Amino acid sequence: MAAPLSVEVEFGGGAELLFDGVKKHQVTLPGQEEPWDIRNLLVWIKKNLLKERPELFIQGDSVRPGILVLINDADWELLVSTSGNSPPSTAPLAALRAS
Query: Closest distance between another protein and the C-beta of residue 1, in Å?
Result: 21
> 3-class DSSP state for residue 50?
coil
Query: Closest distance between another protein and the C-beta of residue 36, in Å?
Result: 14
Among residues 7 and 79, whose Cβ is nearest to another protein?
A: 79
> CB-based contacts of 73: which residues, under 8 Å, 6+ apart?
none
Cβ(63)–Cβ(11) under 8 Å? no
Cβ(88)–Cβ(75) under 8 Å? no
The 8-class DSSP code of residue 2 comes to B
Query: Closest distance between another protein and the C-beta of residue 10, in Å?
Result: 10
Among residues 22 and 30, whose Cβ is nearest to another protein?
A: 22
Among residues 5 and 17, whose Cβ is nearest to another protein?
A: 17
> 3-class DSSP state for residue 86?
coil
Interface residues toward another protein, by CB under 8 A: 12-15, 17-18, 56-57, 64-68, 70, 73-75, 77-79, 81, 91, 95-96, 98-99
